[in-house]
């Protein structure tokens, strides 16, 4: 086991971790600089493939790309090293913030702050919905699916586990496209250019 | 409890297509409704804390929930659980993916998945809006909440401010308004 290579992998991704503040895709320039230019572990064209995979399997783009690159370079141990590198700083920061919140939350000023912050969280979520809505809702079928999802969540709360919606969505997509093909129409299944630089999705 | 936590976040990690905020309905269902580890308000606060930190929001929420309910060990278990599905899937199909991602079936599935994800995120917004008292009989409080919401959205959408900036500013506004 090449410990030196693994530790270099670990440190490389450790340094990239703060960049994920801008969302996983914000890693792209940093990866190009560190992984392609500086260390020559990947070719520039391969970076696009990495992010295509990372965005298509479940999980966060940043973590997935770290796993993928680590795996390509040094197998399973490489994947683990890269994963640890990219996650450790954010892990510590979240723990720190959560601990702080736990002790501070009874402070009246903190309580007041969070009362406003809860409204902002709704805005954050709405913003995320708008961003994905733009690429997601491209025709009547997709619009209907989105509305159906909200309805199912509302009325199925406690009865239908939301995880099923993902499965239904994938299946529905396949079925709808097949139906459209039969009807001689084509569905817009190629996603419009998704924003490369985003914050949280 | 650790086993429950592992299973919960493994499932979440398994279906987390489309990013973190879409996972909120699932997290709500598991953490608040099923296991009753906390209430919706506490979850909203966790989402806020998770949003202030680098890293993906779903992972941060997992770490925070794990830490809150099970200390360091809980945080580690939740983290491993949420990464594991991605890890396994990437290791298995990673190499084959180039052919996989352009396959008609995969593209069709994502075509259906994306609007579902959009719906889930919208639901999360409604859920937290209701919970924060924003959607209620109009009073000074609901108005202030709506204004803060609108201001935050404008900051994000129109002024392209970073979520951390907006959250911190919002906190300051909160101290001024509600303190």
Q: What is the mean pLDDT of chain A?
A: 84
Rg (C-alpha) for chain B, rounded Å, is 18
Question: What digits encode the pLDDT tens for the residues A115-124?
Answer: 898 888 889 8
Contact between A67 and A37 (Cβ < 8 Å): no
Same domain, B105 and B150: no
Element (H, E) at A90: helix A61-104
Which has the minimum average pLDDT: A73-82, A97-106, A180-189?
Answer: A180-189
Cβ pair A64, B90 in contact under 8 A? yes
**pLDDT band per the 50, 70, 90 thresholds, residue A195:** very low
State which residues form the domain around B105: 2-132
Distance from the A72 Cα atom to the nearest Cα atom in chain B, whole angstroms:
9
User: Nearest C-alpha of chain A: how many angstroms from B165?
Assistant: 11
Mean pLDDT throughout A166-189? Answer: 84
How many residues would you count in chain B? 179
| Per-residue model confidence as pLDDT tens digits over A48-58 | 778 877 878 88
Query: In 10 A of CB A141, how many CB atoms?
Result: 21
The count of CB pairs under 8 A between chains A and B is: 369
Every domain of chain A and the residues it spans: 3-104, 108-182
Instruction: For residues A127-142, give the mean pLDDT.
Output: 86
- Per-residue confidence (pLDDT) for residue B137, from 0 to 100: 76
Angle between helices B140-157 and B163-178 in degrees, nearest 10: 160
User: Nearest CA to B64 among B47, B52, B81?
Assistant: B47
The residue among A77, A88, A156 whose CA lies nearest residue B119 is A156
ipTM of the complex: 0.83
CA atoms within 13 A on the CB side of B77: 18
CA distance A28 to A48: 9
The residue among B122, B52, B173 whose CA lies nearest residue A119 is B173
Task: Calculate the alpha carbon distances from A46 to A17, A80, A145 in Å.
Answer: 21, 20, 34
Measure the CA–CA gap between B80 and A92, rounded to whole angstroms.
15
The residue among A138, A158, A160 whose CA lies nearest residue A149 is A160
**Number of compact structural domains in chain B:** 2
Cβ(B21)–Cβ(A200) under 8 Å? yes
Contact A171, B112 (CB under 8 A): yes
Mutation to test the B interface, candidates A64, A89, A108, A122, most B Cβ within 10 Å: A122
Contact across the interface for A56 and B101, Cβ inside 8 Å? yes
Q: How far apart are CA A162 and CA B32, in angstroms?
A: 13
Contacts of A182 (CB under 8 A, 6+ apart): none
| Co-location of B37 and B117 in the same domain | yes
Give chain B's residues under pLDDT 70: 94-95, 97-102
> Is the model's pLDDT at A201 over the cut of 50?
no
CB distance from A40 to chain B under 8 Å?
no
Report whether A47 contacts A31 (CB < 8 A): yes
Mutation choice for B interface testing from A16, A24, A43, A58 by most B CBs within 10 A: A58
DSSP letter string over A105-138? TTSHHHHHHHHHHHHHHHHHHHHHHHHHHHHH--
Q: In the prediction, which pLDDT does B101 show?
A: 65
Q: Distance (Å) from the C-alpha of residue B138 to the closest C-alpha of chain A?
A: 15
Residue found under tokens 């002024």: B159
> Can you give the pTM of this predicted structure?
0.84
């Amino acid at each position: 086991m090449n410990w030196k290579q693994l530790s270099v992998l670990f440190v490389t991704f450790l340094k990239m971790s703060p960049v994920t503040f801008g969302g996983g895709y914000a890693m792209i320039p940093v990866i190009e600089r560190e992984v392609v230019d500086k260390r020559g572990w990947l070719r520039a064209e391969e970076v696009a493939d990495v992010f295509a995979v990372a965005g298509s399997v479940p999980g966060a783009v940043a973590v997935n790309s770290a796993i993928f690159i680590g795996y390509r370079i040094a197998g399973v141990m490489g994947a683990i090293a890269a994963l640890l590198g990219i996650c450790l700083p954010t892990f510590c920061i979240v723990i720190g913030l959560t601990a702080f919140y736990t002790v501070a939350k009874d402070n009246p000023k903190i309580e007041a702050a969070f009362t406003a912050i809860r409204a902002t969280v709704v805005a954050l979520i709405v913003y995320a919905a708008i961003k994905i809505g733009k690429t997601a809702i491209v025709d009547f079928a997709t619009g209907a699916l989105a509305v159906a999802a909200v309805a199912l969540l509302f009325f199925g709360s406690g009865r239908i586990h939301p995880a099923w919606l993902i499965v239904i969505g994938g299946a529905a997509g396949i079925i709808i496209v097949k139906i459209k093909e039969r009807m001689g129409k084509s569905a817009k299944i190629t996603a419009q250019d998704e924003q490369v630089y985003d914050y949280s999705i | 409890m650790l086993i429950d936590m592992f299973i919960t976040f493994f499932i979440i990690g398994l279906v987390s297509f489309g990013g973190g905020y879409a996972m909120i309905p699932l997290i709500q269902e598991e953490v608040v409704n099923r296991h009753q580890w906390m209430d919706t308000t506490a979850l909203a606060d966790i989402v806020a804390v998770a949003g202030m930190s680098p890293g993906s929001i779903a992972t941060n929420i997992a770490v925070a929930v794990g830490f809150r309910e099970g200390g360091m060990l809980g945080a580690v278990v939740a983290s491993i659980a949420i990464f594991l599905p991605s890890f396994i899937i990437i290791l298995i199909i990673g190499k084959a993916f180039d052919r996989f991602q352009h396959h008609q079936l995969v593209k069709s599935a994502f075509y259906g998945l994306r609007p579902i994800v959009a719906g889930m995120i919208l639901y999360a917004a409604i859920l937290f809006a209701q919970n924060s008292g924003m959607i209620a009989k109009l009073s000074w409080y609901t108005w202030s909440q709506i204004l803060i919401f609108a201001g935050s959205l404008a900051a994000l959408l129109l002024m392209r401010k970073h979520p951390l900036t907006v959250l911190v500013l919002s906190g300051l506004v909160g101290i001024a308004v509600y303190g």
